[in-house]
Structure 1
Amino acid sequence: MGMQSVAVACGALTLCLALTTATNPGFVVRITQAGLDYAQQQAIASLEKKLAQLRLPDISGDSRVLRVGKVHYELSRLRLRDFHLPYSRITPISNKGLQVSISNAFAELDGDWRVKFLFIRDHGSFDLKVENIYIKILLRLGSDTSGKPTISTPDCSAHISKVRVLFSGKLGWLYNLFHSVIESRLRKILENKVCDKVAMSVYNELQTYIRTLPVTARIDNKIGIDYSLVAPPRATTKSLDADLKGEFYSLAHRSPVPFSPLPLAFTSDHERMVYFGASSYFFSTAGIAYHKAGALVFEITEAMIPKDVEFKLNTSVFSAFIPQLEEKYPNMPMKFRVSTPTAPFLTVGEGGISFQPIVDVQAYAIFPNSSLAPLFLLSLTGNVSAVINVRSGRIIGSLDVGRIRLSLKDSAVGTFQVRMMQSLINILTSNMLLPRLNARLDEGFPLPLLDRIQLSNILVRFHQNFLLLGADVRFQPRR
């Protein structure tokens, strides 16, 4: 193999690897068989109503009846009284989609008839019972260019094994002589109409509904989440899986994340109707987005200190550790500016979510005219863990901070022993900074849910590289 061929092969391999990495999801949604069964119940109830509204065309034709001759008949004003789908099943078919099987369905309708033969004309009414209706529908799932899901019906078949027509009127006996002809025609019309109605319902209703899955979720005026599909939903023998981008981003200036999501080894748990897999990538992009949007910058002033905390944020208090403060800035109020020089990188493991942020704390003295004098810059590090739960369709959390380690990065008031400030920094962190962060986390981040879906029976489990959330679902119809 020549050098040019080697270069081309290496380039192709690199491209394939890059594409493979790029399509790894940051967030996965799995609908189990229990979830599909629940969705089927809701969909079948809706389909029953739609099929009961079928409009059937008038039927006319000629038939030859023994000892009577040529008979012209007309069936009109065909009205469906009801349409029942008592037994149905939805099954995921690997690499194809979802198959909906309906068996032993039945319907009843009535209408008017007219007959003409020789010089005789008559009319009346009839009842029609359709039994043993079998319907098979294949639902193919895909995605459009915006990452929203799509659904189509590439295949639908309906088979009616039994049709019974009972005519009333003076010449009802005549119709009953060639009922097989009429029943055959009605059977074919109904079979075609059923699949037409199914295709129309999928396009007009199911397609519209599944597109309520949010491609993006706006968190506030700074941050959003990208929940677009990175590939069409895929059916396995036991579930329907959807791979989502799962990426937080700054609304002001979105830029590529400097790393890619790792493959997510989803578990085979099927106790709940739906599962959500949120990877370390998902949570780490939150840190990047909030850092990029400037949302991880906080100011702490004395006015913000809770009244039950006996602590004054002024130079007199800190002069106990830094004597120079009393000389240069006697009895002046202070404030701290808390920021993160780099975005925090979160990891998810079997022990939970954790990260080790680096936090800069810049202290200022405040002059009477509100101008600021920089005093010193501290660097804080520590182990932070997160408790995660789900409430009202949102991921909520709270942070717990372990021991904080301090170091002095810069000082305009000379050197000093930062360890002497440990207790004061702990007070500021536990009573002011942490409550503000936890208040935001308690507002939560929305999960990618279809419209009018509510979650219950929540399960939270941690695995290597991802958080697993399980739930049962309930559909809330519009009132």
Structure 2
Amino acid sequence: TNPGFMVRITQAGLDYAHQQGIAILEKELAQLKLPDISGDSRVMRVGKVHYELSRLRLRDFHLPYSRITPISNVGLQVSISNAFAELDGDWRVKFLFVRDHGSFDLKVENVYIKISLRLGSDAAGKPTISTSDCSTRISSIRVLFSGKFGWLYNLFHSVIESRFRKILEGKICDLVTKSVHNELQTYMQTLPVTARIDAKTGIDYALVAPPRATAQSLDADLKGEFYSLAHRSTVPFSPLPLAFPSDHDRMVYFGASSYFFNTAGIAYHKAGALVFEITDTTIPKDADFHLNTSIFSAFIPHLEEMYPNMPMKFRLSTPTAPFLTIGPGGISLKPIVDAQAYAILPDSSLAPLFVLSLVRNVSAVINERSGHIVGSLDVGRIRLSLKNSAVGSFQVRTMQSLMNILTSNVLLPRLNARLNEGFPLPMPDRIQLSNILVRFHQNFLLLGADVHFQPK
């Protein structure tokens, strides 16, 4: 299934996300709880020694070097090298008839951690992430004991260091797995599968396949389909393949297909949202006319006789959902609009007068604002034709200028006001976009951006 909407996170975007994740992991590792250690060891010329190490406190844990790599058809790999930590604690010793205690410092150096992350999707179409593999290797542990019998501990430090190494290596991977589940997976779940646009429509952003890693990026294919909240039905056409370019200057790229925008037209048409009424009260005050039968009698001879000086109303609607095309030159559409004219009678009832068919070339300007796709329309000259008339035949071309004013000064501002509110992009919580790039390609709009994450 081809996606209606596509998201690509480039290596730059993965690096930025990785920085945020490493900062969280570093804080969590610094709070790692270590168990007390006790045991017996035989020391030359001393004999059997019983030792206890307790109140182990990690002072810090640093992850200075790390990188994230997408592995094609597998997922993501995080490699951490030269990590180091320091901790301290208390020791207690018993041998022969001697008992003593003191403190110790421990330095952990050259820690190497390799984490493999598996990407998937759940039944609702949300992304999932889990740890498929984790390994930790600690090259150097040094323990320094202080106190009266500190020298004794230093005689069998290798036993202590070996136990510390085994405990730490296991604890680090346990914490990584827990952090991926509690922090990263929980955060991924904030990505909306459906986005309610208004009282009539929503967008389906469910994954149509698990996210896939390539050598240079992480790609997610989304359904990208508008739907009517009142009555969702199958779209009568399918999305075309998206020939995504290999751009990598931005952290993230969004690909909104012509399918995505055209399902918006279908959803709003089915919801009855593409119906507009124009009356005299909606005409700008600086216009030099009033919407009544007197002004139209100049074009329609019988109108003034049948409905003398009565207010009028136009009801504009689309007989079919508007259909747009996207190409390298931009977005264009040629909607057909029916304009039903009425005379408003003294008792407020409506008398049908005539129906005009309006065809107009429309182009769109698209941008991003506050995580939303926003836009505005620009229109060309209207072509008019008469569909039917209850007031006799007349030359519609004589009404050209008047209908241009009605659509440009009344209808267009309403449409642009709605488009200016925008439609939300599929993003998890606390993400801001900047350095926006907008490009048009065959059958889709490409929107590139850099990302800023706002911590809690």
The residue that corresponds to 2:345 in the other structure is 367
Give distance in 1, aligned partners of 2:382 and 2:315.
17
Indicate yes or no: 2:395 matched with 1:417: yes
Aligned with residue 345 of structure 1, among 318, 323, 327? 323
Aligned with residue 140 of structure 1, among 115, 118, 122? 118
Equivalences for residues 75-474 of structure 1 within 5 A: 75-474=53-452
Cα offset for 1:309?
Answer: 1.1
Aligned with residue 73 of structure 1, among 38, 45, 51? 51
The residue that corresponds to 1:10 in the other structure is none
- Secondary structure of the 1:188 match is helix
Q: Which amino acid aligns with 1:264?
A: L
Give distance in 2, aligned partners of 1:268 and 1:145.
30
Cα offset for 1:311?
Answer: 1.9
- Secondary structure of the 1:201 match is helix
Give distance in 2, aligned partners of 1:57 and 1:100.
27
Q: Which amino acid aligns with 1:55?
A: K
The residue that corresponds to 1:16 in the other structure is none
The residue that corresponds to 1:7 in the other structure is none
Cα offset for 1:242?
Answer: 0.4
Residue deviations 1:268-321 (CA, integer Å, cap 9, x gap):
000000000000100000000000000000000000111111121000000000
Give distance in 1, aligned partners of 2:304 and 2:11.
70
Give distance in 1, aligned partners of 2:288 and 2:43.
106
TM-score (norm. length: structure 2): 0.99
Q: Which amino acid aligns with 2:102?
A: G
Equivalences for residues 7-86 of structure 1 within 5 A: 23-86=1-64
Residue deviations 1:410-451 (CA, integer Å, cap 9, x gap):
110011111110000000011000000000000100101110
Cα RMSD for the two superposed structures? 0.6
Q: Which amino acid aligns with 1:230?
A: V
Cα offset for 1:126?
Answer: 0.4
TM-score (norm. length: structure 1): 0.95
Q: Which amino acid aligns with 1:223?
A: T
Q: Which amino acid aligns with 2:94?
A: K
Q: Which amino acid aligns with 1:397?
A: G
Give distance in 2, aligned partners of 1:44 and 1:433.
52
Give distance in 1, aligned partners of 2:430 and 2:57.
33
Q: Which amino acid aligns with 1:207?
A: Q
Give distance in 2, aligned partners of 1:175 and 1:46.
35
Give distance in 1, aligned partners of 2:358 and 2:313.
16
Give distance in 2, aligned partners of 1:295 and 1:88.
52
The residue that corresponds to 1:17 in the other structure is none
Cα offset for 1:382?
Answer: 1.5
- Secondary structure of the 2:103 match is strand
Give distance in 1, aligned partners of 2:279 and 2:319.
21
Give distance in 2, aligned partners of 1:310 and 1:452.
49
Q: Which runs of 4 or more aligned residues in structure 1 lie more than 3 Å from their structure 2 counterparts after TM superposition?
A: none
Residue deviations 1:366-421 (CA, integer Å, cap 9, x gap):
01111000000010112111000001111000001112111110110011111110
Give distance in 2, aligned partners of 1:42 and 1:476.
10
- Secondary structure of the 1:176 match is helix
- Secondary structure of the 2:288 match is coil
Count, aligned residues: 456
Residue deviations 1:342-379 (CA, integer Å, cap 9, x gap):
00111110011111111000000001111000000010
Residue deviations 1:78-106 (CA, integer Å, cap 9, x gap):
11000000011011000110100100000
Give distance in 2, aligned partners of 1:194 and 1:183.
16
- The answer for unaligned runs of 5 or more in structure 1 is 1-22
Cα offset for 1:135?
Answer: 0.4
The residue that corresponds to 1:5 in the other structure is none
Give distance in 2, aligned partners of 1:142 and 1:165.
43
- Secondary structure of the 1:266 match is coil
Give distance in 2, aligned partners of 1:320 and 1:328.
14
Give distance in 2, aligned partners of 1:310 and 1:253.
43
Give distance in 2, aligned partners of 1:346 and 1:233.
29
Give distance in 1, aligned partners of 2:348 and 2:324.
38
- Secondary structure of the 2:19 match is helix
Identical amino acids, percent of aligned pairs: 85
Q: Which amino acid aligns with 1:200?
A: K
Give distance in 2, aligned partners of 1:308 and 1:321.
22
